[in-house]
């Protein structure tokens, strides 16, 4: 079943086409990887889908409902979550408080919101740090907190922007395992990622962008061998 259908989505800033006639679909229960060089329009695409930037034209249909141009809060309540490349937790609140804020979207009762937040913190392996302040966390732990806050709104589709970016190599396998765990828990995922080995490992399909345009869309093996993708971004990649 198609959970998200994007058709001819476009956005220009002055004379620069950040996204131009982008079309693709995401099937429920899969992980879509999104790749492309810096400036390819990846984060802008997430902004357009989630309402942080209004598209110039096109269509965005989530679960059969047109959400083109809707406000971010409306889109979030429908079940589309998002994480950001630049982490902005509430630094002087505890992890529990950070996640409870998201839980209040569906759980107005403070006790229920707290129970839900504790469950999510356990899911992302941060339960033992629930009373720590967000500012005390390492980058990898803050990435997990960001995912926990997104999970608190009960998303059916979660857009992730550079989850493994900026963390040490020893932390990456745990984050990759968490992404797969979230998918197995029923969350459909679209993830922007620069680490090609990771994107080839986790993705069911890959969308490749370059200069604001779609240059390829398909399963990882097909994308790996696509000459346009190789020319634009990949170079030579050895995937086991």
Q: What would the DSSP string read from start to end of 107-158?
A: --SHHHHHHHHHHHHHHTT-GGGTTSBGGGS-HHHHHHHHHHHHHTT--SEE
Fold of 2-234: Rossmann fold (3.40.50)
Domain spans, the chain: 2-234
Question: What value does the mean pLDDT of the chain take?
Answer: 92
Interhelix angle 172-184/139-151, nearest 10 degrees:
10
| pLDDT tens-digit map of 147-167 | 999 999 999 999 999 998 888
**Separation of alpha carbons 62 and 192, rounded Å:** 19
Across 204-218, average pLDDT: 95
**Integer angstrom CA distances of residue 155 from 183, 189, 235:** 11, 10, 35
Q: Calculate mean pLDDT across residues 55-66.
A: 97
- pLDDT given at position 1: 92
Instruction: Report whether pLDDT(239) > 80.
Output: no
The model's pTM: 0.90
Confidence at residue 82, expressed as pLDDT on a 0 to 100 scale = 93
């Amino acid at each position: 079943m198609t959970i998200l259908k994007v058709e001819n989505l476009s956005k220009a800033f002055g004379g620069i086409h950040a996204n131009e006639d982008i079309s693709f679909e995401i099937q429920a229960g899969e992980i879509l990887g999104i790749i492309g060089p810096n400036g390819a329009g990846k984060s802008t695409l997430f902004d357009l889908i989630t309402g942080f930037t209004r598209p110039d034209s096109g269509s965005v249909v989530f679960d059969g409902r047109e959400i083109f141009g809707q406000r971010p809060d409306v889109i979030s309540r429908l079940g589309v979550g998002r994480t950001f490349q630049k982490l902005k937790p509430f630094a002087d609140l505890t992890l529990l408080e950070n996640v409870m804020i998201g839980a209040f979207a569906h759980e107005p009762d403070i006790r229920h919101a707290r129970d839900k937040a504790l469950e999510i913190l356990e899911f992302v392996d941060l339960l033992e740090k629930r009373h720590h302040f967000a500012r005390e966390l390492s980058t990898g732990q803050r990435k997990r907190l960001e995912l926990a806050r997104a999970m608190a709104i009960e998303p059916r589709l979660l857009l992730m922007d550079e989850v493994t970016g900026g963390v040490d190599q020893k932390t990456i396998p745990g984050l990759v395992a968490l992404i797969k765990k979230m998918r197995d828990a029923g969350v459909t995922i679209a993830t922007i990622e620069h680490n090609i080995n990771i994107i080839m490992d986790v993705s069911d399909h890959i969308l490749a962008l370059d200069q604001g345009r779609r240059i390829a869309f398909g399963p990882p093996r097909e994308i790996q061998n696509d000459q346009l993708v190789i020319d634009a971004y990949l170079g030579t990649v050895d995937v086991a």
